[in-house]
Amino acid sequence: MGNIGMPELILILALALLLFGPQKLPEIGKQVGKALGEFKRTSNELKRTIEDEMDRATKDAPSGEPPPPGTAPASEPPKSAPESGPVKPS
């Protein structure tokens, strides 16, 4: 699935011609082209906005503030249970 060969493309175009007629095909093609162009512009704008926000978040994070809960800072090793020494008799 994915690649459409020449015979399949010709069959699709022939069916579209039969269903919509020769007067409607250019109009439909124009509308599809506009929709695809708008989708591409919107997706590029969303991608750019996300990248800008990620850059801003990494630059604006002051180094003196503690990290958000649930994340360990890279400079500190994870805390483990306290080690117990030799047991003192009571």
pLDDT of residue 33: 95
Strand ranges for 1-90 from DSSP E:
none
pLDDT digits (tens, 9 = 90+) for 43-90: 999 999 999 999 998 887 666 566 666 665 555 555 655 555 566 666
pLDDT of residue 40: 97
The radius of gyration of the chain's CA atoms, rounded to the nearest angstrom, is 30
CA–CA separation, 39 and 46 (whole Å): 11
pLDDT of residue 59: 86
pLDDT digits (tens, 9 = 90+) for 6-34: 999 899 989 999 998 989 989 998 999 99
Residue 42 has pLDDT above 90, yes or no: yes
28 CB contacts (<8 Å, ≥6 apart)?
16, 20
Q: Where are the domains of the chain?
A: 22-59
